[in-house]
């Protein structure tokens, strides 16, 4: 059964609004919007103009997050959070992050003034990508109490600290504790484009995210001996780049051999990096992800061992340094089941999946039941100006969201929580 005409009309509005937000940018020829840059203020104003006619109380918290509260039938009732991030990577598309906020607005509009047994808070997080300060999730960290003094001291490329950026936006860092979630939150739902090709390959519009994959990031250095490229015989070389290249092939092979594992060498830096000099040192980064932490850590251990074996055989040495070891984050089982049922009620086949990318939902999951709904990404293309969505998929997401609100309103577990509030 195709989506209703009403859903299609709302979906077109959602897409148009996302494209309008994409025009609020630090660059005239592309979409680039970082933490509390001037275009973020334009986003806040625009979204506020959509929300205020709906009876939504709009504010900007001290971390720069847009917060729009739509009360329930009882103002003291708990609230459901719906949102995503409003910042972007450089030269971004129009839908990564922003779609989740705009879909939340459209869901409120679809209620047409009806009050539910719980309130709904729309959140546009000020920062998720980590572009400006090299640290992601500044916005959602504030909600779980992890925007601390150390993070406030982080500086961008111009020497501006997070604290100074907050003050420059007209906000007060001393009020950051007031941004924390209270005990009245039922859960958090985030709509997001998949940013990958899985749903498209399966021919599905929507997916229920059951976990965010754990991630390991490491830096490797293969060390050999620099020498003249024209005078050093092949059998006498200690070529760090050749050793690194062999290991890159091993990384790909190991990644393919373990179901659900992804392993990537993202950067390669040979030194001295001159055409007629054998590389004496080659630095690489390794990114490994899997939903099961034990599988991920075993894969990392194996790749470290294989790097050492390659280096020894070639007369090289190798060192490694762990930059990040982020455990996997399961989504709330009950909310995932409700999302599956909501998708089923649209006439679509529900599909559970793992997110290979990090999202604000993994931060909120520390404190409240959280879940995500993925929308198919045409071509699997994201973080790119050509990133797009299908109107029918957005319409389906809106319908699934409406079904989800109805299911949550009648959920026995949530009803008990509402009564206790």
In the prediction, which pLDDT does 41 show?
Answer: 98
When pLDDT is cut at 50, 70 and 90, the band that residue 413 belongs to is low
Overall average pLDDT of the 392-419 stretch = 86
DSSP-assigned letters across all residues of 311-324: HHHTT-EEEEEEEE
- Residue-wise pLDDT for 78-90, tens only, equals 999 999 999 999 9
* Tokens 């007031």 found at: 178
Can you give the pTM of this predicted structure? 0.90
The rounded percent of the chain whose pLDDT value lies above 70 is 98
- Residue-wise pLDDT for 301-329, tens only, equals 999 999 999 999 999 999 999 998 989 99
Asked if residues 70 and 122 have their Cβ atoms less than 8 Å apart, the reply is: yes
When pLDDT is cut at 50, 70 and 90, the band that residue 411 belongs to is confident
Rounded to whole angstroms, the Cα distance separating 190 from 375 reads 11
SS3 assignment, position 193? strand
Backbone phi and psi for residue 345, each to the nearest 5 degrees, phi listed first: -70, -15
Overall average pLDDT of the 151-169 stretch = 97
Backbone phi and psi for residue 64, each to the nearest 5 degrees, phi listed first: 85, 10
Decide if pLDDT at 333 tops 60: yes
- Residue-wise pLDDT for 27-53, tens only, equals 999 999 999 999 999 999 999 999 999
- Residue-wise pLDDT for 95-125, tens only, equals 999 999 999 999 999 999 999 999 999 999 9
Backbone phi and psi for residue 244, each to the nearest 5 degrees, phi listed first: -65, -40
When pLDDT is cut at 50, 70 and 90, the band that residue 1 belongs to is confident
In the prediction, which pLDDT does 340 show?
Answer: 98
Backbone phi and psi for residue 142, each to the nearest 5 degrees, phi listed first: -60, -35
Decide if pLDDT at 342 tops 90: yes
In the prediction, which pLDDT does 75 show?
Answer: 81
Q: Show Cβ contacts of residue 45 under 8 Å, excluding neighbours closer than 6 positions.
A: none
Asked if residues 314 and 242 have their Cβ atoms less than 8 Å apart, the reply is: yes
Rounded to whole angstroms, the Cα distance separating 90 from 230 reads 41
Asked if residues 126 and 35 have their Cβ atoms less than 8 Å apart, the reply is: yes
Q: Whole-number mean pLDDT of the chain?
A: 96
Q: Tokens for 336?
A: 């995932």
Overall average pLDDT of the 148-174 stretch = 97
Rounded to whole angstroms, the Cα distance separating 282 from 407 reads 55
Distances (CA, A) of 301 to 144, 254, 268, 326, 416: 32, 12, 20, 15, 46
Q: For the chain, which domains are there?
A: 5-212+328-420 (3.40.630.10), 214-326 (3.30.70.360)
- Residue-wise pLDDT for 211-267, tens only, equals 999 999 999 999 999 999 999 999 999 999 999 999 999 999 999 999 999 999 999
Write the DSSP symbol of residue 349: P
369 vs 76, higher pLDDT? 369
Decide if pLDDT at 398 tops 70: yes
Q: Tokens for 332?
A: 């709330």
Overall average pLDDT of the 371-383 stretch = 96
The rounded percent of the chain whose pLDDT value lies above 90 is 94
Rounded to whole angstroms, the Cα distance separating 403 from 408 reads 9
Rounded to whole angstroms, the Cα distance separating 224 from 264 reads 23
Asked if residues 14 and 95 have their Cβ atoms less than 8 Å apart, the reply is: no
Rounded to whole angstroms, the Cα distance separating 373 from 399 reads 12
For residue 122, whether the previous peptide bond is cis, meaning omega lies within 30 degrees of 0, is: no
């Amino acid at each position: 059964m195709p989506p209703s005409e009403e859903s299609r009309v709302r979906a077109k509005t959602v897409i148009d609004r996302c494209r309008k937000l994409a025009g609020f940018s630090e660059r005239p020829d592309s979409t680039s919007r970082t933490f509390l840059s001037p275009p973020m203020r334009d986003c806040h104003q625009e979204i506020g103009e959509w929300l205020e006619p709906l009876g939504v109380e709009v504010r900007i918290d001290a971390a720069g997050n847009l917060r729009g509260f739509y009360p329930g039938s009882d103002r003291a009732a708990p609230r459901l959070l719906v949102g995503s991030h409003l910042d972007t990577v450089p030269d971004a598309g129009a839908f990564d992050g922003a779609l989740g906020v705009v879909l939340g607005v459209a869901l409120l509009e679809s209620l047409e003034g009806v009050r539910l047994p719980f309130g709904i808070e729309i959140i546009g997080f000020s920062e998720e990508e980590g572009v400006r300060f090299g640290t992601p999730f500044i916005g959602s960290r504030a909600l779980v109490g992890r925007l601390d003094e150390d993070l406030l001291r982080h500086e961008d490329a111009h020497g501006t600290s997070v604290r100074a950026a907050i003050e420059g936006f007209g906000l007060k860092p001393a009020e950051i504790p007031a941004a924390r979630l209270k005990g009245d939150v039922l859960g958090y739902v985030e709509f997001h484009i998949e940013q990958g090709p899985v749903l498209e390959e399966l021919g599905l519009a929507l997916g229920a995210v059951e976990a965010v994959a754990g991630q390991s990031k490491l830096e490797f250095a293969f060390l050999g001996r620099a020498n003249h490229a024209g005078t050093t015989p092949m059998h006498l070389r200690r070529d760090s780049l050749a050793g690194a290249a062999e290991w890159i092939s091993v990384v790909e092979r190991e990644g393919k051999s373990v179901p659900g594992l992804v392993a990537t060498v993202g950067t390669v830096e040979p030194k001295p990096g001159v055409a007629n000099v054998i590389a004496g040192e080659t630095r690489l980064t390794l990114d490994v992800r899997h939903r099961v932490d034990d599988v991920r850590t075993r894969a990392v251990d194996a790749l470290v061992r294989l790097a050492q074996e390659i280096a020894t055989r070639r007369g090289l040495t190798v060192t490694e340094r762990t930059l990040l070891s982020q455990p996997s984050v399961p989504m709330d089982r009950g909310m995932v089941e409700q999302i599956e049922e909501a998708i089923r009620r649209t006439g679509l086949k529900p599909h559970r999946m793992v997110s290979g990318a990090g999202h604000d939902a993994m931060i909120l999951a520390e404190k409240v039941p959280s879940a995500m709904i993925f929308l198919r990404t045409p071509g699997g293309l994201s973080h790119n100006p050509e990133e797009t969505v299908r109107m029918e998929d957005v319409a389906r997401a809106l319908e699934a969201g409406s079904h989800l609100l109805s299911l949550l309103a009648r959920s026995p577990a949530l009803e008990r929580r509402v009564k206790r509030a």
